[in-house]
Structure 1
Amino acid sequence: MLHLRLITPAEKTDDVVRLIEGTIGTAHLCVFPGAARDPAGDVVLCDVAREAGDELLGELKGIGLDASGSIAVENVDLSLSRRADEAEARAPGESADAVLWERLIEATHEESTLSVTYLAFITLATMIAACGVVLDNAVLIVGAMAVGPEFGPLAGVSTAVVRRRPRLALRSVVALLTGFAVAMAVTVGFSFFMDAVGLFSEGRLEADRPQTGFVYAPDWLSFVVAVLAGAAGTLSLTSAKSGALVGVAISVTTIPAAANAAVALSYGDAVQTWGSTRQLLLNLLGITLAGTLTLLAQKHFWAGQHERLHERSGG
């Protein structure tokens, strides 16, 4: 269940209440006239099944409540209520499958912000991966994958395409390109430093690396893995069950490929630099393509569910 806390201008409260009462899957409606002070108005509380949440949020935005009042949404971790159970049973579909588009847009918008923290994470992840490729250490590679924040902007691009949000697309692309550019530039300098103190060497980079050599040797299997990871990551973001996202992060080779390209560039190895760059671009393409197709499939599926919702509500 979702818990909605609404601040409504007095003249819109009746409309808001009618929308809630007319939505299958709602329960626990409470109205507190004049309780809000900033902005002034009434406070309306209700619970709604996750399957019906996106429809109700869209209708509330349709009457301009986001501009004239406030819409706050929280997850209800535990609800001991027969009324809530009945509301969830009446709503079509399963809560774990429901997509809250506004929440997804908000999440990807936040994850796609070009902040100091974002740049720090992607740079540190690339430097860790640089150590991993030089030492041929798979543990360091996995750690770098887990630290990297690049999936946020990739999901932002997919969301922007499906929801037709050009500003979000631009924001995500800028964060992605700037992040990798900064991370790789810093890692080139890091590689020079590590070579100067004797911790990196060209011989290690050029040696046979059975654990990490794949990062500069892209093939169709790399693309397939990226597509599968992109689909899984998108489902993790849109679903109520989001524990799979860490697993997605350590299944693609974006950060390791960027790191190998940076280290190879510092030693003037054009073959590994180009191979790693191809691996990076192939993974970015696969994740974005899979994320977009997954969201389109979910959009189509939930359009059918919303039609059923209208039919069952008589509207």
Structure 2
Amino acid sequence: MLHLRIIAPAGWTDAVVDCLENTVGTAHLVVLEGAARVPPGDVVMCDVAREAADELLRELRTLGLEDDGAIAVEDIDLSLSRHADRAEKDAPGEGADAVLWESLTEATHEESTLTATYLAFLSVATMIAACGVVLDNAVLIVGAMAVGPEFGPLAGVCTALVRRSPKLAGRSLVALLAGFAAAMVLTTGFSLMMGGFGLFSDELLGQDRPNTDFIWHPDPFSFVVALLAGIAGMLSLTSAKSGALVGVAISVTTVPAAANAAVALAYGDLRQMWGSSQQLLLNLCGIIVAGTATLLAQKFFWGKQNARMARSETGMR
């Protein structure tokens, strides 16, 4: 269940209440007249089944509440109520399968913005991966994958393509491309510095590395894994099961490939740099293709679900 808190300007409350009452899957409707101060208006609260929330939010936005009022949505961790149980039962589909497009757009907007924190995480992750490839240490590679924040911009690109949002697409691509470029430049400098201390060398980079050799040897499995990771990642975001994102992060070779390319550049190994760059692009493209296809499939599924629900309601009248 989700909790909605709405600030409705004077004169709009009846329309908001009618919208909530006519939505299958709502419960616990509360109206506090004149309770809001900034902006002024009435406070309307209710709980709604997750699977009915997206359609409800779309209808509320058509009223223009985001301009003159406010709409806030929160997850309910625990709800002990027969009314809530009935609302979830009446709502179409399953909550775990529902997509809240407004929430997804907002989340990807925040995660796909080029910030100092994002750059710091990506750069540190790439430097950790650089240590991993030079030492042929799989543990460091996995750790670097988990630290890397690059799935946020990738999800932003997928969401922007499905929702046809050029601004979100541009912001996500800037964060993705500029972020990796900055991280690789910093990692190249880091590699040279480590070489000055005698910790990195071209001999270490060129030796046999059975644990990390795959990073600069892309093959069809690289693209297949990227596709599967893109599907899993988008399902994790849309179903609010963020724990699965860790598994997604450590299944694709984006950060390690960027790190290996940076180290190879520092020591003039163009063959490894080219192979690592191919691995990086292959993984990024695979995730975007699969993530976008997953969102389109979910959009199609819920469109069919809502159409069946509308026909059912029409037949009962």
Tell whether the structures are fold-level matches, with TM greater than 0.5: yes
Q: Supply the distance in 1 between the matched residues of 2:84 and 2:241 (Cα, whole angstroms).
A: 20
Q: Which residue does the alignment assign to 1:264?
A: 264
Q: Which residue does the alignment assign to 2:24?
A: 24
CA contact (8 A) 1:23 1:313 kept: no
Q: Supply the distance in 1 between the matched residues of 2:59 and 2:80 (Cα, whole angstroms).
A: 27
| Aligned-residue CA RMSD (Å) | 0.9
CA contact (8 A) 1:95 1:240 kept: no
SS of 1:35's equivalent? strand
Q: Which residue does the alignment assign to 2:171?
A: 171
Percent of pairs with identical residues: 70
Q: Supply the distance in 2 between the matched residues of 1:67 and 1:252 (Cα, whole angstroms).
A: 41
1:44-55 to structure 2, matched below 5 A, reads 44-55=44-55
Q: Which residue does the alignment assign to 1:126?
A: 126
CA contact (8 A) 1:113 1:175 kept: yes
Q: Supply the distance in 2 between the matched residues of 1:253 and 1:263 (Cα, whole angstroms).
A: 15
Shift in Å, 1:242: 2.5
Shift in Å, 1:142: 0.2
Q: Supply the distance in 2 between the matched residues of 1:52 and 1:241 (Cα, whole angstroms).
A: 18
Q: Supply the distance in 2 between the matched residues of 1:40 and 1:310 (Cα, whole angstroms).
A: 35
1:214-233 to structure 2, matched below 5 A, reads 214-233=214-233
Stretch of structure 1 that moved more, 61-70 or 300-309:
300-309
* Structure 2 gap segments, 5+ residues each: none
Q: Supply the distance in 1 between the matched residues of 2:59 and 2:312 (Cα, whole angstroms).
A: 17
1:147-162 to structure 2, matched below 5 A, reads 147-162=147-162
Q: Supply the distance in 2 between the matched residues of 1:205 and 1:140 (Cα, whole angstroms).
A: 15
SS of 1:80's equivalent? coil
CA contact (8 A) 1:24 1:313 kept: no
**Does residue 74 in structure 1 map to residue 90 in structure 2?**
no
The one-letter code matched in structure 1 to 2:269 is D
SS of 1:38's equivalent? coil
Q: Which residue does the alignment assign to 1:205?
A: 205
SS of 1:10's equivalent? coil
Q: Supply the distance in 1 between the matched residues of 2:9 and 2:102 (Cα, whole angstroms).
A: 22
Q: How many residues align?
A: 315
Q: Which residue does the alignment assign to 2:12?
A: 12
SS of 1:281's equivalent? helix
Q: Which residue does the alignment assign to 1:310?
A: 310
Shift in Å, 1:312: 4.0
Q: Supply the distance in 2 between the matched residues of 1:91 and 1:15 (Cα, whole angstroms).
A: 21
Q: Supply the distance in 2 between the matched residues of 1:122 and 1:243 (Cα, whole angstroms).
A: 20
CA contact (8 A) 1:227 1:290 kept: yes
CA contact (8 A) 1:132 1:138 kept: yes
CA contact (8 A) 1:22 1:313 kept: no
Render the CA deviation track for 1:209-254: whole Å, top value 9, x for unaligned.
0100101000000000000001000000000323201100000000
SS of 1:11's equivalent? coil
1:214-253 to structure 2, matched below 5 A, reads 214-253=214-253
Q: Which residue does the alignment assign to 2:146?
A: 146
Shift in Å, 1:313: 3.9
The one-letter code matched in structure 1 to 2:214 is F
- Inter-CA distance 202–121: structure 2 relative to 1 (3 Å threshold): same
Q: Supply the distance in 1 between the matched residues of 2:186 and 2:309 (Cα, whole angstroms).
A: 53
Q: Scaled by the length of structure 1, what TM-score is found?
A: 0.99
**Does residue 195 in structure 1 map to residue 195 in structure 2?**
yes
Q: Supply the distance in 1 between the matched residues of 2:52 and 2:159 (Cα, whole angstroms).
A: 20
Q: Supply the distance in 1 between the matched residues of 2:28 and 2:310 (Cα, whole angstroms).
A: 21
Q: Supply the distance in 2 between the matched residues of 1:284 and 1:208 (Cα, whole angstroms).
A: 27
CA contact (8 A) 1:3 1:46 kept: yes
Render the CA deviation track for 1:119-155: whole Å, top value 9, x for unaligned.
0000000000000000000000000000000000000
1:108-127 to structure 2, matched below 5 A, reads 108-127=108-127
* Structure 1 gap segments, 5+ residues each: none
SS of 2:157's equivalent? helix
CA contact (8 A) 1:91 1:309 kept: no
Render the CA deviation track for 1:20-62: whole Å, top value 9, x for unaligned.
0000000000001111000000000000000000000000001
The one-letter code matched in structure 1 to 2:253 is T
Q: Which residue does the alignment assign to 2:105?
A: 105
SS of 1:240's equivalent? coil
Q: Supply the distance in 2 between the matched residues of 1:297 and 1:204 (Cα, whole angstroms).
A: 46
SS of 2:12's equivalent? helix
Q: Which residue does the alignment assign to 1:292?
A: 292
